Every structure is written in C-alpha cells, then in structure tokens.
Chain A
C-alpha cells in the first residue's frame, strides 16, 4: 500500500481516515445507482484508485478478478432466468472496488490504539477488522484456486475450461467456509464472539 501504517504524522492519519470514509460513501452511492453508464465510469474510476493504492495495475486486477467472475456468473444467471441483466453485477464490482480501496487505506493500527476497549466504537473497529480478515481469506483462497486451475488445464478457453472453472468456484466456496469456520473457532476461544 502507498499509505503505510506505522509511525506517521497525525495529519496523515486523519487524511487516511477521511479518504477511506469518502470511498465508503462512494461505495454506498454506487450501490443505489442503477444507470449502467455511470456504473461503468465508477468502475473505471474505482479501478484507477485501486491501482494507485496497490501501486500495480496487475495486482489490482488480480484482486478484482474473483469479484468480476462472481458478477459474471450473476449476470449469466439473470440472463438465463429472464433474458435481461440488471445493474446488480456492475454494482457488485463497483462496490467492491471502492470498499476494498477504503479498507486498504484505513489506518487500522492507529485507530485500534486510539479507541478505548470499553467504548462502543471498539466493537465496531473489531467488527471491521473481522470483515477485513474474511475478505483477505477470500482473496487469498481465490488466488490459490485460480492458480491451481490454471496449472491444471492446458488452455484457458480450451476443452473443459467451463467445467474446471465451476469446480474451482465450488472449491473456493468450500475452502473459504472451512477457513472462516476455523477463524471463528479461534476467535471464540479468545472470547471475541459473545
């Protein structure tokens, strides 16, 4: 990340908080916009921001790909069911781009240190950190599954590409669930799930 956590100035921390909040507001806004042209512009903008924050278009693309795949499956199902596609798949990608970038630049360490354990905000910060961790689990499992698939098939769009893609997505859900279950078990033993 460009905005690294650590011993930074308070001004920088405030700037990161504000930027993250603005991006979260943008994520909420694109969730209610239904105009597909505006959504496409938002996706391009969101991707540019994500590229700047990750310092690499390739890295940004790699993290967005599973969500794009999910949105594509969603669009396919809608088309099969009603011969039309709503704005939901585009909204999904746009919301992901803005919220993932917001989570990436938010000064977690500084916020965690600044919030008192007895305050209501502490639970909220903890909840956001749980979500961040689940997102990271999902992203890392997606990378592994898609990498394994690409090693297992000789051509990306050759024979069996669709079957292997479906199998990879099913495996991804299973693996993410089992890791989420283990994470929940570990945190419940530490007393964080009451």
Chain B
C-alpha cells in the first residue's frame, strides 16, 4: 500500500496571535478511511482547506507523493459541509456532468459516468431535478456523487452528517462504506466515524492530541472529554 496523503508539521494562523493549527502530522493510505474528530471550532474544516491549498499553511502536504498541483486536483474528490456550495446547475445530473465535460470527456461517456456515480449513492431517480428541490440528505449524497464522478482516488469530506436526520446519516454512511478509495472525513459525529473509519485523529486546540485505531480512540472516554466531544 502507498500513502495517498502525507502531512508533516502543518501549521496555520489567522494572525501571529491566533494559531489555529500547529504541528499537524499524519498520513492516509490507499483504500483507508480516516476520521478527523474534534469539537466545533477545533480546526477540522480549516485543516481540510489547508490541505487543498485554499488557505496558505506552513509545513508540507503531499498528495500521491507529490506537492499539490492543478492536475492532482482531478484525483481528489471534495465534499463541502454545505452542498449548496457545490451544486448550482439546473439539474443534479448537470452538476455531476459539468466537471467531466470541462475535463474534455465525450458527452456520452460523461453521461454514463455521471449516472454511474448517481447509482452509487442511490440517486438516479432524482437526476433530472434541481438540487434545490432535494432534501438535505439527498443533496449531501448528490455532492458525494459529484466528487465520485471524476474517478477520485481520495475523497475529503467536511462534516458529511451535519444537520442530517438518523435515516439520512445511515444512507450517507452506506454510500461511503461501499467506496474503495481512500477517505478522510472531518466530523464530530462519533457513531458515524466509528461505523466507517479504520483510523481516527483527535483534533483539539489546533493540535492532534491522539491518533490510532478508531474503535480504541473513539471509545476512550477521557480523551473525548479532553477534546470537548462528550
């Protein structure tokens, strides 16, 4: 197995008096599902933005053994916390088709891939509807489908279960469990992460205070209390 993401000594501060992330070091391997767990404001979303180069951070971030380049982005799928940040086309299908057409894929092939991605998350029947007419759970799964359609080898997800009801959480979990690529999921939903991830990192005060097998980390009461999660 090869690492798909290697992060070393990553640090980020809005200004020198307010460090948000410091000395973050971890890696994600092929096919692995890793959870980043932390309370609100722990820096989970900021960490994802830093990894993707949307915020300029110190330290080293390497995707597929190389620095992040424009071409590398095609191998990474990203699902934002709010699906409205990603879906804006007249139909859900168009939202998934668009990046494929933009990369020069033939329309017929792009259509097949987009429908296959919708099948993976169980949303083919709503492909003709605009995202605004879907429930939040369906919109989250549509955003996952949009990230999957580009043959991503690594999926980054920011709070995929935020504001979802129990059934929608289960459906999102089922969709993610069926995937074989590496997944890095930032969330504070402990049950969700426990059911999906092999490994978990605990983020508190902008630092990783623990990392290891998710069944151990996510049932360590003292650790979770220290991180403000229970």
Decide yes or no whether B122 CB sits under 8 A from chain A: no
A109 pairs with B85, CB closer than 8 A: no
In the complex, what residues of A have CB within 8 A of residue B88's CB? 129-130, 132-133, 183
Cα A189 to Cα B85 with chains together (Å): 11
Cβ-based interface call for B94 (8 A)? yes
Q: Indicate if the CB atoms of A129 and B89 lie closer than 8 Å.
A: yes
A183 with B73: CB separation less than 8 A: no
In the complex, how many residue pairs between chain A and chain B have their CB atoms under 8 Å apart?
65
Binary B-proximity of A92-126 (CB < 8 A = 1, otherwise 0): 00000000000000001100110001000000001
Partner of B85, one of A113, A183, A191: A183
A189 near B90: Cβ-Cβ < 8 Å: no
B86:A112 contact, CB within 8 angstroms: no
Contact residues in B for A126 (Cβ distance below 8 Å): 98
Q: Which residues of A contact B94 (CB under 8 A)?
A: 109, 112-113
Q: Is A189 a contact partner of B78 (Cβ separation < 8 A)? A: yes
Separation in Å of the B88 CB from the closest CB of chain A?
A: 4
Mask, B125-139, CB within 8 Å of A = 1, is 000101010000000
- B84 engages A190 (CB within 8 Å): no
Give the complex CA separation of A6 and B93 in angstroms. Answer: 13
Question: Which has the most chain B C-beta neighbours within 10 Å: A5, A112, A186?
Answer: A186
Q: Mark A33-64, 1 if CB is under 8 A from B, else 0.
A: 00000000000000000000000000000000
Using an 8 Å CB-CB cutoff, how does the interface string of A1-37 with B read, 1 for contact, 0 for none?
A: 0000110000000000000000000000000000000
B190 in the interface (beta carbon within 8 A): no
Interface residues of B in 2-61 (CB under 8 A from A): 49, 52, 54
Classify the secondary structure of A's interface with B.
helix
- Say how far A105's CB is from chain B's closest CB, in angstroms: 12
**CA distance in complex: A43, B129 (Å):** 32
- Residues on B lying within 8 angstroms of A by beta carbon are 49, 52, 54, 70, 73-74, 76, 78, 80, 82, 84-86, 88-91, 94, 98-99, 101-104, 107, 128, 130, 132, 146
Question: 13 extra interchain contacts, Cβ-Cβ under 8 A, other than A109-B89, A113-B94, A182-B85?
Answer: A5-B130, A6-B128, A109-B94, A112-B90, A129-B88, A129-B90, A179-B84, A185-B54, A189-B52, A190-B98, A190-B102, A191-B73, A192-B99
